[in-house]
Chains A and B, each alone.
Chain A
Amino acid sequence: MPIIKVNNLSKAFGGVKAVSNINMSVEAGEIAGIIGPNGAGKTTFFNLLTGIYTPTSGEVIYNLERKISSKSFKPYKMTGYGVARTFQNIRLFKNMSVLDNVLIGCHNNMSYGLLSSLLHLPAFRRSEAKAYDEAIKLLDIFGLADKKDEPASKLPYGEQRKVEIARALAAKPKLLLLDEPAAGMNPNETKELTKLISWIKDEFKLTIILIEHDMSLVMGICSKIFVFDYGNLIASGTPTEVQNNEQVIKAYLGGE
């Protein structure tokens, strides 16, 4: 049973078909990669998966804790369904501390009333202490615990990417969507990130879908690759299959 199934998914902005007729599925525990030239519709596809856009036609069905179709998607409900994401152009809360950024990820797992918030009743302290421990544990994994009080914007680029992944993990997702996690990283950082991604997949029992331009990362850890071009899914399969696919070569290198 696939954890995510996409049926004939299309999204048009006016006359422009950003994504058309996508059919795909990803099994639990896989790392799936989405590649394609600029403007191929990869991020639009992610936005469809996370409820930021509603599909023009077709649907997305998640089979996480229960079955959910894209008809009931709302951006703020996705973490509750078990889907968390990062953004291509890092979207951290810049003036908030690194710790607070990760704590926002815990938002859905916290519940005490308004009165506890205003008066700091015992429920507040219990819940906040638990979230604090979880956040510190995550920051430790990414080697950022000693920077927890710094404003997120003061961190170097590579570490900001890590904070964003930690923030997404704090929401305890089953499915993690990473939009260009290695963008702007140097080869060493990318190598380290590649290891980290496959490690967190096992550690947190995740399914991961990632968009990435860095082929060393994609070919290294993805068990399945989907290739987008002009909004169409032109190829899918294992890394070797995709590398030898004629259409893929044409899309990347051009041709008659």
Chain B
Amino acid sequence: MKLINKKNMLGFLAVILTYAIAGFLIDKGFIDSYIFLNIVLIGINIILAVSLNLITGFTGQFSLGHAAFMSIGAYTSGILTAKLGLPFWVGILGAALLAAVAGIIIGIPTLRLKGDYLAIATLGFGEIVKIIGLNTDYIGGATGLNDIPRYTTWTWLYFCVVVTVLLISNFIKSYKGRACISIGEDEIAAEAMGVNTTYYKVLAFTLGSFFAGIAGALYANYFYFIKPDSFGFMKSIDILVIVVFGGMASIKGSILGAVLLSLISLFLQGIPELRMVVYAVILFLIMVYRPQGIIGKGEFKLFKKRGGLNANNQSK
């Protein structure tokens, strides 16, 4: 429970060293722009996967609309930095806050739904965001938003990833985080122990959206250009695959999953014809032989059977 102990100090040192060494390598040109592009993608995927894991892995709320929050963040930061000429930190903060507000607005009505119903509702939300993007001329419609300044540097990327991982791991160790995990485990028991389940579901959803917004801002301010199609259903599935592959309810798993899956698809670019086939086979093997993911605790269950009230009622 102590803030400063040996383990924390070592972790802190490792974080600083990684930053300094990679920063040095990028500065001296040992890491070229192609590798750096992949590092940026890995970083963004880590943020997305860890934040989705809070919603789906820990709290057990199956969301298929995570890319929509990323999209809201990307467009917000795009507008703030490109159209209004504001600095990057305003873009990131605005992106995170607007995505979080969207999370609250979507979360309150949809989180009453369970399992498959929630999945469909969040899927629908993702499509709505996409269609609004396609039909709004101010943000470029289907052609997308151009000329976004490239503000995403190694420092910003690394800072955002570390902050996301640190805050979410801190959160799940707090009593609020425990309440979220208990909902994922057994909603009725959680409620009986005094956990206001609706509140904590919306809280987890909002926090997850907040960080997805940050990922969106990093994305928009690295690639100059965003279009609504980049944040469609398939992107949501990609993030979910990372979470399941790495392990539900495991933050380390999500980080490892994001790194490994990015590396796998990077190496597979040498054989473009077979890329998706090999990728699919790897996922298939993981799901058959390690259904809990690389370092996950719980198994991935899309439609959780929780027994529900009826099973509880049939007293024997």
Contact = CB atoms under 8 A, between A and B. Distances in A.
Interface of A: 18, 38-44, 47, 50, 52-53, 75-80, 84-85, 87-89, 91-96, 100, 103-108, 110, 112, 114, 116-120, 124-125, 127-129, 131-132, 167-168, 171
Report, as a range, how many residues of chain B touch the other chain: 35 or more
B311 A89 contact: yes
Interface of B: 1, 3, 167, 170-171, 173-179, 181-182, 185-186, 188-197, 203, 249, 297-298, 307, 309, 311-313, 315-316
A225 B203 CA distance: 44
Q: Is the interface of B mostly helix, strand, loop or mixed?
A: helix
Which of B186, B193, B313: most chain A CB closer than 10 A? B193
B60 to A, nearest CB: 11
A165 B62 CA distance: 31
Which of A53, A84, A105, A107: most chain B CB closer than 10 A? A107
Contacts of A76: 191-192, 194-197
Contact of A104 (B193, B298, B313, B315): B193
A132 B297 CA distance: 23
Given A106-B175, A117-B170, 20 more contacts: A38-B316, A52-B188, A52-B309, A76-B192, A76-B194, A79-B192, A84-B192, A84-B193, A87-B188, A89-B311, A89-B312, A91-B189, A91-B192, A96-B178, A107-B175, A114-B176, A117-B174, A128-B175, A131-B175, A168-B193
B57 to A, nearest CB: 11
Across chains A and B, which 3 residue pairs bring their CB atoms closest together, nearest first?
Answer: A43-B315, A117-B174, A79-B194
A104 B195 contact: yes
Contact of A39 (B181, B182, B191, B315): B315
Contacts of A110: 175
Contacts of A167: 193
Which of B3, B171, B175: most chain A CB closer than 10 A? B175
Contacts of A93: 181-182, 185-186, 189-190
18 contacts: A40-B315, A43-B312, A43-B313, A44-B313, A50-B192, A76-B192, A88-B315, A88-B316, A96-B181, A96-B182, A96-B185, A105-B193, A107-B175, A107-B178, A110-B175, A117-B175, A118-B171, A119-B170
Contacts of A84: 192-193
Contacts of B194: 76-80, 107-108, 171
